[in-house]
């Protein structure tokens, strides 16, 4: 476990207070001196924490006036927005919205990939599906998830769109944990194998619309799985 530096702790605590509503958007946060006293750190440490929040467009620093909280829709950090959006009973809603976002990016990337993917990569896709089948047979969840992720990563890369990958990375981090949970259910594994097979075949046909449709069905099923798992939480 990576021990967090003081700067990280201060930034986290400050973000927590912002999300809790202590400093609503448009208002100013306490001055650097006041914060350094409250968190019992030096002013430089507070400044570095502020810099990290400023780089994520959560705060706007105005020299001579103070430091202000930006409205949520200007925040550039998916993780921070997720934390804010998951407050209260909104966690389920936030999860659904994340999947919706993933659906947009993955179906779009799949459509692009259909016209650009190489023969070698298509063979690799079928290889990953085979790996998923094998893992399913021996009930090796870790191997199953690994092949699953590799499958999707390959399509992302095959889309040859750098920006899609950039936007997808934070999503990947956020959804990683839940993916392992859903993949633990054998029935869901079977569904996923079928969908992946269809996607690979669609890409092999080089049809953008068919590829997009195949990925869309897969995403739709993922969303249903999530809803079922979230709603029947023990």
Burial of 142 (0-12, 13-18, 19+ CB in 10 A): exposed
Query: For DNA, which stretch binds (CB under 7 A), given 14-22, 26-34, 189-197, 199-207?
Result: 26-34
Residue 78: which residues within 8 A CB-CB, separation 6 or more?
A: 170, 171, 174
Instruction: Tell whether residue 55 is a contact of DNA (CB under 7 A).
Output: no
78 binds, among DNA, its own copies, none (CB under 5 to 8 A by kind): its own copies
Region of 207 on the Ramachandran plot (φ > 0 left; ψ -120 to 50 alpha; else beta): beta
Element (H, E) at 77: none
42 binds, among DNA, its own copies, none (CB under 5 to 8 A by kind): DNA
Single out the residue of 12, 17, 38, 66 in contact with DNA (rule: CB under 7 A): 66
- Which residue in the block uniquely carries the two structure tokens 């897969």? 218
Kindly tell me which of 61 and 185 has the beta carbon lying closer to its own copies.
61
# of chain residues touching DNA (CB under 7 A): 23
Query: For DNA, which stretch binds (CB under 7 A), given 40-48, 81-89, 149-157, 170-178?
Result: 40-48
List contacts with its own copies (CB under 8 A).
5, 7, 44, 47-48, 51-56, 63, 72-78, 81-82, 85, 94, 97-98, 100-101, 103-105, 107-109, 112, 160-167, 169-170
For the chain, the 3-state helix, strand and coil shares in percent, each to the nearest 5, are 75, 5, 25
Single out the residue of 40, 89, 119, 187 in contact with DNA (rule: CB under 7 A): 40
31 binds, among DNA, its own copies, none (CB under 5 to 8 A by kind): DNA
Supply 191's token pair: 């569904």
Give the C-alpha separation, 199 to 22, whole Å: 47
DSSP-derived secondary structure letter, 14: H
Are residues 115 and 204 in contact, defined by beta-carbon separation less than 8 angstroms?
A: no
Kindly tell me which of 11 and 129 has the beta carbon lying closer to its own copies.
11
Instruction: Tell whether residue 62 is a contact of DNA (CB under 7 A).
Output: yes
Single out the residue of 67, 183, 211, 222 in contact with DNA (rule: CB under 7 A): 67
Q: Please give the span between the terminal C-alpha atoms of the chain, in angstroms, as a whole number.
A: 28
103 binds, among its own copies, DNA, none (CB under 5 to 8 A by kind): its own copies
Kindly tell me which of 63 and 137 has the beta carbon lying closer to DNA.
63
Kindly tell me which of 124 and 223 has the beta carbon lying closer to its own copies.
223
3-state SS string over 94-133? HHHHHHHHHHHHHHHHHHHHHCCCCHHHHHHHHHHHHHHH
Binding site for DNA (CB under 7 A): 5-7, 29, 31-34, 40-45, 47-48, 61-67
């Amino acid at each position: 476990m990576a021990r967090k530096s003081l700067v990280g702790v201060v930034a986290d605590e400050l973000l927590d207070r912002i999300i809790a509503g202590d400093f609503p958007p448009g208002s100013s946060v306490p001055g650097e001196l006041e914060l350094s006293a409250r968190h019992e750190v030096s002013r430089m440490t507070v400044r570095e924490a502020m810099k990290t929040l400023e780089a994520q467009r959560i705060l706007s620093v105005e020299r001579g006036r103070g430091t202000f909280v930006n409205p949520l829709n200007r925040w550039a950090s998916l993780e921070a927005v997720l934390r804010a959006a998951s407050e209260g009973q909104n966690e389920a809603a936030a999860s659904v919205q994340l999947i919706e976002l993933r659906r947009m990016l993955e179906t779009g990337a799949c459509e692009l990939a259909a016209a650009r993917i190489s023969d070698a990569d298509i063979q690799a896709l079928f290889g990953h599906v085979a790996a998923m089948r094998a893992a399913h047979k021996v009930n090796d969840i870790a191997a199953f998830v690994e092949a699953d992720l590799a499958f999707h990563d390959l399509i992302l890369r095959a889309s040859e769109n750098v920006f899609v990958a950039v936007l997808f990375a934070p999503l990947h981090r956020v959804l990683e944990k839940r993916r392992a949970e859903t993949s633990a259910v054998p029935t869901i594994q079977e569904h996923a194998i079928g969908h992946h097979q269809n996607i690979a075949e669609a890409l092999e046909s080089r049809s953008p619309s068919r590829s997009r449709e195949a990925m869309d069905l897969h995403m739709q099923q993922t969303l249903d799985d999530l809803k079922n798992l979230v709603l029947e939480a023990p």
